[in-house]
Structure 1
Amino acid sequence: MSTIAPVNQPTQPTGPEEGPATTVIKSWKVPIILGVFTVLGFLLMVVFGRTGTSTMVLSTSSDLIQLPDVLLPTLPTGIVISILLAGITALSAWMVQTHRKVPLWLISVFAVLLLIGFLTWASADERIPVPGLLFGSLSLAVPLIFGALGGVISERVGVVNVAIEGQLLAGAFTSAIVASVTQQPLLGLLAAMVAGVLVSFVLAAFSIKYFVDQVIVGVVLNVLVTGLTGFLFSEVLAPNAATLNQPPKFERINIPLLSEIPIIGPVFFRQTLIVYIMYIAVAAVYYGIFHTKWGLRLRAVGEHPQAADTVGINVTGTRFWNVSLAGAVAGLGGAYFTLGSVGAFGKEMTAGAGFIALAAVIFGRWDPIRATLAALLFGFASNLQNVLSIIGSPVPSEFMLMLPYLVTIFAVAGLVGQSRGPAASGKPYIKS
């Protein structure tokens, strides 16, 4: 729902240099969405409120600094949070009415308050281990983040990477075999990158050189890799699991001092090597895309390949090698399944993570940082259903299993809005 209102329109001409009136688009989308969630939150936390006390556990037994548990009376907390949500909704409506943009931090505060209220309601007379909830969320988000980074690189250079799922699965499969045979997880990590490059190589060859529809190629690659790894798992890995499917996992590395910071220390700085590589990858991809010559060429090819070709940039070569780089990054995410999380390859173990990573790319507006935050959101939604199932939440388990995918659909359809991807993404370049 949008209206266009004139701003600073003069009542009479002031001279020959006077330009047309400035217009501001007034969109009520954000207040409407916040209002809907405020009503839903009120119904859940107040009308159908629960009695009891919710306990938020902020420290683990191994923390150097022990924080006290936070006790929240369930119904009063729901009432207070409902009032705060209504206030933020009213404030956002006032901002739109006065032609101001609703800041992202205000929406974030709304989301955090709604989450606290929901957790308080769902955990009445139970304990929520906050560090465990966040740690599990990050663990589930790691392959999504690697996949999203690969998707950002690929789409920024002009190739739609629907094959992220296949790259993740190929990386997981290859890393399991190589690490099992060599008993060296680092070699498994390198093998996963090579497997991701090989999958992206096929994507690049058909979509860039032979101008085949990129989405079709990506879907076919996903089906091909799923079928191939499933067949090899049944015929090769399963009968020889002791030698081919028992890879050594990376050990956790505690960063001195940082790992002792309350709450965030156990979550971010007691992780495996792959997670620390992920931190570096997010920073490197962001800096590279927006602050280096490589990134400038990449974005130029993705936005206007004709202009890039005119100034001497090899459009085909730039796309080809950057799609391959994207595959290597996604392959790292696949290695996390077998070398950092599960510890063995399982048939179709990625379970659609590549498609959620692709949604994170869109939700993050093709920006590495925003895509990472979107992947963390999806990881949190996935882990939330695990935690609430353990504590015996009254929320139906079927709904909790749907939660990650509902968040994905809502995020892409409801929050992205009119965001535009790279102009030449998905369009083959034919040099004239």
Structure 2
Amino acid sequence: MSGTVNTGPGGADTGVPNVTQTLDAGGPPTATQHEHPDSSNGLETTIVKSWKAPIGYAVFTLIALVLFVILGRDGTSTFSLSTDSDAIQLPDITVPARATGIVVTVLLLLITAAGFALVRANRRVPLWLTAILGVLFLVAFLTWVDAGASLPVQVPGLLVGTVSLSVPLIFGALGGVISERVGVVNVAIEGQLLGGAFVAAVVASITGLPVVGLVAAAVAGAVVSFVLAAFAIKYLVDQVIVGVVLNVLVIGLTNFLYSQVLSKNAELLNSPPRFDRINIPILSEIPIIGPTLFRQTIIVYLMYIAVAAVYFALFHTKWGLRVRAVGEHPQAADTVGIRVNPTRFWNVLLAGAITGLGGAYFTLGSVGAFNKEMTAGAGYIALAAVIFGQWDPIRATLAALLFGFASNLQNALGIIGSPVPSEFMLMLPYLLTIFAVAGLVGRSRGPAASGRPYIKS
């Protein structure tokens, strides 16, 4: 259960025993309950209720009732769990579509009731309950779509595509988490991704070395972040405005250079060698998990390391404590000797470098050449993942995977022959982003000083 403690004017520790502690119960307040001070610590506790999570559950349960019960489809659905190269071949799973839809709808109804009961009891709705609801709904939806289809649902292919589409989002989300944790709103993720993709393509094409292109992409992302940091920290320009302007600037600049330079010298400047896939012995042969996680390029393996490193460093090192202190209460951090603006400046550059690596994946790991606006709004979805993940590296990574899955789902359903209109499937990733930012899974509270310039008094 998360919370904030107001320890006195300006947040300083006044030593006054009667303070207020706000406990997040899953979203913005709709009702409050005041308790008497605890005799053990003297805290007067205010518990904040939010019905957003159970209401969101109810919406999905209602959709399930309409789709899987009222409009349920007869026939069977088949799920393929192995690829031809797996050492262990798992048999296909065939399930009855209508019966599966009914069972899942009942389970969703029980989860929704549990969500309402938890909030009524002033308890936070756990993240794992939301995850279970999402997985159940997804299984029922895929069963409903595939009912009577001649092609099975290729589970390994669906997951591999999800990871592939999520890599830039995860790098962007990690950069966004670091930047906003230190107090600078990073709307320029889109520009950092696009700049990294462009520079990686050019440098790798000239040198013939994808590793050099990867390093150049990190530098390009840091350069874009340098402009953001200079205007936001040094000249106190509104951080959101600077981020939007940088995105437009990078899009315009890369489009111009692509039209005037790259397209006329494609063989020399826009034919980068791509990283080969590296199969991890033994692990890559595990069904489902192996093809998804352990038959990847070096960029994806770097992503695994980056997620773990950012999480550990942010919450278990002195550096992370300083970063979070500067983002939450820069005045207090300054009081104990932390140089607030230099800390912000260098960490915004670090965030840009990490995001630039995600841009390199477009040209060195996926597409293989630079195209105009090839990031296609991935930076904004990564920013939504930061908010959805509540500024936590692990949660932001999971949110990015969710958005990547939604993007890949439209491709998979197009192959199967989905009864859902293709226009709706194209909208799905962005609809999911809107639902996520709206906070259906709970309250999103960013760092207290994020977006606020610090002027030393």
* Superposed pair shares fold, TM > 0.5: yes
SS in 1 for 2:94: strand
Which ranges in structure 1 are unaligned for 5 or more consecutive residues? 10-15
Secondary structure of 1:79 counterpart: helix
Are residues 1:190 and 2:244 paired? no
1:406 is the counterpart of 2:406: no
1:13 aligns with none
Distance 1:156 1:169 in 2: 23
CA 1:288/1:5 → structure 2, altered by over 3 Å: closer, same or farther?
closer
Counterpart CA distance in 1 for 2:449 and 2:46 is: 30
Structure 1 segment 359-370 matched on structure 2, within 5 A = 359-370=384-395
Question: Gapped runs of 5+ residues in structure 2?
Answer: 1-28
- The alignment's TM-score, normalised by the length of structure 1, stands at 0.95
> Does the alignment pair 1:323 with 2:309?
no
Q: Is 1:74 matched up with 2:77?
A: no
Report whether the alignment pairs 1:30 with 2:58. no
Shift of 1:106: 1.9
2:148 equivalent to 1:125: yes
Determine which of 179, 198, 205 is the counterpart of 1:173. 198
Choose from 65, 75, 79 the match for 1:42.
65
The number of residues matched between the two structures is 426
Residues 72-111 of structure 1: matches in 2 within 5 Å?
A: 72-111=95-134
Superposed CA offset, 1:54-89 (max 9, x none)? 111000011000000010111111111111111222
Of 307, 319, 328, the residue aligned with 1:282 is 307
Deviations, residues 327-383 of structure 1 (Å, cap 9, x unaligned): 100000000000000000000000000000011111111111111011000000000
Bigger CA drift: 310-319 or 215-224?
310-319
| Rounded Cα–Cα distance in structure 1 between residues aligned with 2:60 and 2:35 | 31
- Going from structure 1 to structure 2, the CA distance change for 1:95 and 1:159 (only over 3 Å counts) comes to closer
Aligned position for 1:157: 182
- What's the TM-score, normalizing by structure 2? 0.90
Aligned equivalents of 2:137, 2:402: Cα separation in 1? 14
Matches of 1:427 and 1:328, distance apart in 2: 23
**Aligned to 2:362, which of 301, 322, 337?**
337
Give the match's secondary structure for 1:415.
coil
Going from structure 1 to structure 2, the CA distance change for 1:299 and 1:22 (only over 3 Å counts) comes to: closer
* Deviation readout 1:222-256 (Å, 9 max, x if unpaired): 11100000000001111111111111110000111
Look up the match of 1:428: 453
RMSD of aligned C-alpha atoms? Answer: 2.0
Contact 1:365 1:416 in 2 (8 A): no
State the distance in 2 between where 1:397 and 1:385 align.
8
Deviation at 1:25, TM superposition (A): 4.1
Helix, strand or coil for the counterpart of 1:313?
coil
C-alpha offsets along residues 28-61 of structure 1, whole Å, 9 cap, x if unaligned? Answer: 3322221221111011011111111111100001
Q: What is the CA–CA distance in structure 2 between the aligned matches of 1:8 and 1:305, rounded to whole Å?
A: 32
Paired with 1:179 and 1:36, the residues of 2 have a C-alpha distance of: 48
Moved more, 286-295 or 275-284: 286-295
- Change in 2 beyond 3 A, CA 1:107/1:416: closer
Q: How many Å apart are 1:317 and its aligned residue? A: 1.1
Q: CA deviation at 1:391?
A: 1.2
Identity rate, percent: 72
Alignment of 1:313 with 2:338, yes or no, is: yes
Structure 2 counterpart of 1:223: 248
